[in-house]
């Protein structure tokens, strides 16, 4: 193989490589990123939030009067894991929620407990349902000693659940509350740094109007009991137990109501909630807007270990998305353009070189056509001068005395 053929192959190879890299960059930024930007299937984490609250002493339920303690230390724990059905499109999250007084042991400190299961779209984080899967369920409460399998009660979910979508936008999202059993708006409030990670802050009101300490009860939710006899959503007890004036033996029935305020700090790339703050209010009353006996009025915030763990998880997911969705496409685009331009330049060089070999004069900028020099006024080289052909003498033209 001569040098010209090798250079021609190299030129076509560079142009082909450049085109391939540009196509790969396009596929990575569209198709591949869409397949990478999904909720992982290996979630298994525990989220803990600490705080204080005004809470009922469970031991007082068997006493002469319900006792409510102020400034009691409380902790909320969420255990997240993946269950079936989970595949390339959806993931089913099982979340065990507990709220307990940390100054009490075992059942004496347990205030709230719920096991919620929901199937969500792996990209949008929206709850999904099918004929065989209602999109969500909650377990009926069980005691610690109960060895029977848990019983699920179907609870169709809607909106987001436990995460926000990939590429979270600065807008309002519906976010499901399993206690209220419906979705409420989570409103975008601004950006905020959390352990070096830029996050979007969202707030949600359930039964409240306003924000912070100025929020007022607006439409509190009647607590939906998971017991067959609704024993924890409606309680009838003597007036003395409720701490009410009047006849101490009068039977008073009160309903349980619920309201909450939440703040989520969300990684906009992966949709991971890296930090959360929750103010929950459970109380008994005869009028929904006139609380009479507090069951739990608490405020908890993600502890530092949880925040660090969630930030690390969000960064890992974000790095993967960034690698396949931004870094590699940009790199392939630059390399593709360099290879394509290099191939074109090499091809142009080969054409000029071949043209110069065929006619050296073709490589001159002012080469004349039809063999004429651009300037005929100058002296002509001897090699190019025209010569006159002399006639040859015939024998009859020679002198007579000259022998032939």
**pLDDT tens digits for 243-292?**
998 899 999 999 999 999 999 999 999 999 999 999 999 999 999 999 99
Q: In angstroms, how far is the first alpha carbon of the chain from the final one?
A: 63
Cβ contact 246:297 at 8 Å: no
Cβ contact 241:65 at 8 Å: yes
- To 10 degrees, what angle do helices 3-27 and 328-358 make? 160
Banded pLDDT at 380 (limits 50, 70, 90)? low
Beta-strand relationship, 273-285 and 197-206 = unpaired
Q: pLDDT tens across 156-169, in order? A: 999 999 999 999 99
Give the alpha-carbon dihedral of 303, 309, 315, 318, to 10 degrees: -100
The answer to whether residue 340 sits within a structural domain is: no
The answer to whether residue 355 sits within a structural domain is: no
The answer to whether residue 83 sits within a structural domain is: yes
The answer to whether residue 118 sits within a structural domain is: yes
Cβ contact 159:175 at 8 Å: yes
Q: What is the span of the domain harbouring residue 294?
A: 37-143+150-302
Burial call 169-179: b when 16+ CB within 10 Å, e when fewer: eeeebebbbbb
Cβ contact 98:110 at 8 Å: yes
Residue 387 has φ and ψ, to the nearest 5°, of: -115, 155
E-assigned strand segments in 122-219: 136-139, 152-154, 173-177, 182-194, 197-206, 208-209, 216-217
pLDDT at position 278 is 97
Q: What tokens were used for 252? A: 């008073």
Longest dimension (CA), the chain: 179
What pairs with residue 263 in β-bridges?
203, 277
Contacts by residues 61-69 (CB-CB < 8 Å, ≥ 24 positions apart): 64/240, 64/241, 65/240, 65/241, 65/243, 66/237, 66/241, 66/242, 66/243, 66/293, 68/293, 68/294
The CA distance from 206 to 187, in Å, is 12
**Is the pLDDT score of 319 beyond 60?**
yes
Residue 403 has φ and ψ, to the nearest 5°, of: -65, 150
- Among 39-48, 88-97, 311-320, 386-395, name the one with the lowest average pLDDT: 386-395
Q: pLDDT tens across 220-250, in order? A: 999 988 877 777 889 999 999 999 988 999 9
Question: Which DSSP category does 123 fall into?
Answer: T
The answer to whether residue 275 sits within a structural domain is: yes
The CA distance from 309 to 273, in Å, is 11
Please report where in the chains the tokens 């709850």 appear, as a residue: 127
- Nearest C-alpha neighbor of 149 from the set 177, 110, 113, 115: 115
The answer to whether residue 119 sits within a structural domain is: yes
What is the total count of domains within the chain? 1
H/E stretch holding 99? strand 90-101
The answer to whether residue 15 sits within a structural domain is: no
Q: Average pLDDT over the chain, rounded to whole? A: 83
Q: pLDDT tens across 321-358, in order? A: 665 566 667 776 888 788 778 777 777 777 777 676 66
Banded pLDDT at 371 (limits 50, 70, 90)? very low
The answer to whether residue 245 sits within a structural domain is: yes
Q: What tokens were used for 231? A: 């024993």
The CA distance from 341 to 332, in Å, is 14
- Higher-confidence residue of 26 and 222: namely 222
């Amino acid at each position: 193989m001569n040098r010209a053929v090798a250079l021609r192959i190299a030129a076509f190879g560079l142009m082909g490589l450049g085109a391939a890299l540009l196509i790969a960059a396009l596929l990575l930024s569209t198709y591949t990123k869409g397949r990478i930007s999904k909720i992982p299937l290996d979630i298994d984490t525990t989220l803990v939030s600490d705080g204080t609250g005004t809470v009922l002493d469970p031991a007082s339920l068997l006493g002469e009067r319900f006792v409510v303690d102020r400034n009691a230390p409380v902790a909320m724990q969420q255990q997240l894991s993946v269950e079936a059905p989970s595949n390339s499109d959806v993931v089913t999250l099982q979340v065990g929620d507990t709220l307990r007084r940390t100054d009490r042991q075992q059942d004496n400190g347990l205030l709230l407990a719920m096991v919620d299961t929901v199937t969500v779209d792996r990209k949008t984080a929206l709850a999904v349902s099918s004929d065989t899967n209602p999109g969500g369920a909650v377990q009926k409460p069980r005691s610690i000693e109960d060895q029977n399998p848990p019983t699920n009660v179907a609870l169709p979910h809607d909106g987001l659940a436990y995460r926000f979508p990939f590429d979270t936008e600065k807008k309002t999202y519906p976010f499901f509350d399993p206690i209220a059993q419906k979705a409420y708006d989570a409103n975008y409030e601004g950006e905020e740094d959390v352990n070096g990670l830029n996050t979007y802050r969202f707030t949600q009101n359930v039964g409240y109007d306003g924000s912070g300490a100025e929020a007022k009860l607006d439409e509190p939710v009647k607590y939906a009991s998971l017991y067959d006899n609704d024993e924890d959503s409606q309680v009838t007890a003597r007036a003395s137990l409720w701490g009410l004036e009047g006849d101490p033996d009068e039977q008073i029935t009160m309903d349980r109501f619920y309201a909450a305020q939440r703040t989520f700090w969300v990684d906009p790339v992966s949709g991971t909630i890296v930090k959360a703050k929750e103010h929950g209010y459970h109380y008994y009353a005869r009028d929904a807007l006139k609380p009479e006996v507090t069951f739990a009025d608490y405020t908890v915030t993600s502890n530092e270990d949880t925040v660090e763990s969630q930030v690390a998880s969000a960064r890992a997911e974000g790095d993967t998305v960034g690698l396949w969705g931004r870094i590699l496409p940009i790199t392939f685009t630059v390399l593709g353009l360099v290879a394509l331009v290099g191939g074109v330049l090499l091809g142009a060089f080969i054409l000029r070189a071949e043209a110069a070999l065929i006619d050296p004069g073709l490589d001159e900028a002012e080469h004349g056509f039809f063999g004429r020099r651009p300037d005929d006024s100058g002296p002509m080289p001897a090699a190019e001068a025209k010569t006159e052909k002399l006639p040859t003498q015939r024998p009859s033209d020679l002198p007579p005395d000259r022998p032939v």
